[in-house]
Amino acid sequence: MNQSDIKRLAVVGSTGSIGTQTLDIVERFPQLYSVSVLSAGSRVEPLVEQALKFRPALAVIADESKLPQLREALAPAGIATAAGPEALAEAMTRDDVDMAVTATVGYSGLEPTIRAIGAGKDIALANKETLVVAGDLVNRLLKKSPTKIYPVDSEHSAVAQCLVGETADSVRRLIITASGGPFRTWDAARLANATVADALRHPNWSMGAKITVDSATMLNKAFELIEAHYLFGIEPRRIRAVVHPQSIVHSMVEFKDGAIKAQLGVPDMRLPIAYALGCHSRLDQAAPRLTLEQMSSLTFEEPDLDKFPCLTLARTAMDRGGNTACVINAANEVANLAFRQGRLPYSGIYDVITATLDRVAHIAEPEYADYVATNDEACAIAAALVDKY
Ligand code: NAD
Ligand code: MG
């Protein structure tokens, strides 16, 4: 930490849903946080606007063709600029960064996370795909680094809060809650004709488009079961998903004596974001308060695996291990985008993922280069499957 005790952040994906909510916390608590690096995928305007407001030392854009535009806008303000995935990853290692906030979407979160771990930076991890793709590798790297990972995902933040003061051997199981998404009450016939607009209408959360569609297929929950396994070191059979349509209980931990602890709050990501930025300390009113009325009806039900087959992919991924989850993630990135672009029907998402799984060679103990190769291969196969669908 620097002398003034202000924590200096590098926000990867600062213009997205998690990124902007992170900056909302920074803006409200300037005595605690400042920003050294801001970065976005390809849209220059919102990045420029953020940079002029938060004055980072460096602004990075992943899309290299946009660098001249970014430089022209920020050079007069004395803000350095860079472009491309390598520049982004390198930015995580800067001396003026105390914590990396990984708020980018999909596979693009892996490299910056690995570099942040290599440089011993703490990480507020929103990008769950990093742990889905390469959880084993990340955990191996963490063993050799002072880095600590603080989960931003609301369910994992809830589990972390429930585990405070507990010992590992007292935990019986983790109960990860799921809203059930927009299609929870739809029957199979209606679901077959689900449109992009339907999938993007999440009942409780306002999020980026990719994760909103992942929530509609419930693959997001499968990813969160995998994420929980790697974050908390609990075997897959002791982690289950339960549907809780109100999204007030953000997850629970059951202990060996029969006690269950739950964390409750309004569905507002600023609460888990603030808890992660503070390395599990609490800020005053990070998010609106929960009222007793909002807690008056809390219901729980079993997920319907026939209707949401993507949820079963968590078990497939963890049973087979190795590069399996990396394949699932890559195929989903392609299928999810194709669905959003109107090139694939809703039901095609699961079909493309499983067909890709059948075609990519299994690697039992992948190294970093194997994950890169698996991701490339699975993306290419999934793209061809989408074209033929
Ligand atoms: P988003 O689509 O709103 O934002 C993504 C951000 O990443 C944008 O700033 C975009 O410019 C940037 N980006 C995209 N591609 C990039 C690339 N190749 N390189 C660098 N930057 C790139 O997404 P989001 O909803 O904020 O989600 C971000 C991550 O947080 C995802 O992994 C998601 O699963 C996770 N998450 C989100 C929420 C939520 O409420 N939004 C909740 C839990 C977890
Ligand atoms: Mg979540």
Q: Is the CB of 17 under 6 A from ligand 1?
A: yes
The pLDDT tens digits for 212-267 are 999 999 999 999 999 999 999 999 999 999 999 999 999 999 999 999 999 999 99
For β-strands 58-61 and 149-151, DSSP reports them as: unpaired
| Ligand 1 mean position, distance from CA 189 (Å) | 32
pLDDT of residue 205: 87
Q: Given the CA of residue 269, which atom of ligand 1 is nearest to it?
A: 40
Residue 197 has pLDDT above 60, yes or no: yes
Residue 1 has pLDDT above 80, yes or no: no
Q: Given the CA of residue 130, which atom of ligand 1 is nearest to it?
A: 32
One-letter amino acid of 203: P
Q: Is the CB of 62 under 6 A from ligand 1?
A: yes
At 292, list the tokens. 């007793």
Measured from the alpha carbon of residue 204, the closest ligand is 1
Q: Is the CB of 103 under 6 A from ligand 1?
A: yes
Average of per-residue pLDDT values in the chain: 97
Q: How many CB atoms lie within 10 A of CB 233?
A: 10
Q: Is the CB of 332 under 6 A from ligand 1?
A: no
Which of 204, 43, 223 is closest to 128 using CA atoms?
223
Residue of 17, 43, 218 to mutate, ligand 1, most atoms within 8 A of C-beta? 17
Largest CA distance in the chain: 62
Q: How far apart are CA 379 and CA 106, in angstroms?
A: 12
Rounded to an integer, the average pLDDT of 7-13 is: 98
Measured from the alpha carbon of residue 221, the closest ligand is 2
Is 24 in contact with 53 (CB distance < 8 Å)? no
Exposure b/e, 94-127, CB count within 10 A at least 16 = b: beebbbbbbbbbbbbbbbbbbbbbebebbbbbbb
Q: Given the CA of residue 85, which atom of ligand 1 is nearest to it?
A: 19
At 248, list the tokens. 């007030």
69 — pLDDT class (breaks 50, 70, 90)? very high
Measured from the alpha carbon of residue 63, the closest ligand is 1
pLDDT of residue 149: 98
Q: Is the CB of 207 under 6 A from ligand 1?
A: yes
- Crossing angle between the packed helical segments 154-163 and 219-232, to the nearest 10 degrees: 30
Residue of 50, 64, 200, 211 to mutate, ligand 1, most atoms within 8 A of C-beta? 211
Q: Is the CB of 272 under 6 A from ligand 1?
A: no
Residue of 14, 42, 105 to mutate, ligand 1, most atoms within 8 A of C-beta? 105
At 323, list the tokens. 């590069």
Among 84-88, 190-194, 236-240, 344-348, name the one with the lowest average pLDDT.
190-194
| Ligand 2 mean position, distance from CA 153 (Å) | 5
Q: Given the CA of residue 18, which atom of ligand 1 is nearest to it?
A: 26
Residue 180 has pLDDT above 80, yes or no: yes
Rounded to an integer, the average pLDDT of 327-345 is: 98
The pLDDT tens digits for 113-136 are 999 999 999 999 999 999 999 999
Is 270 in contact with 205 (CB distance < 8 Å)? no
pLDDT of residue 4: 67
Residue 379 has pLDDT above 60, yes or no: yes
Residue of 12, 104, 275 to mutate, ligand 1, most atoms within 8 A of C-beta? 104
Q: Is the CB of 151 under 6 A from ligand 1?
A: no
104 CB-side CA count, 13 A:
27
Q: Is the CB of 253 under 6 A from ligand 1?
A: no
Nearest CA to ligand 1 atom 15: 41
Q: Given the CA of residue 209, which atom of ligand 1 is nearest to it?
A: 2
The pLDDT tens digits for 248-258 are 999 999 999 99
5 — pLDDT class (breaks 50, 70, 90)? confident
Measured from the alpha carbon of residue 268, the closest ligand is 1
Q: Is the CB of 227 under 6 A from ligand 1?
A: no
Q: How far apart are CA 352 and CA 35, in angstroms?
A: 40
Q: How far apart are CA 387 and CA 194, in angstroms?
A: 20
pLDDT of residue 153: 98
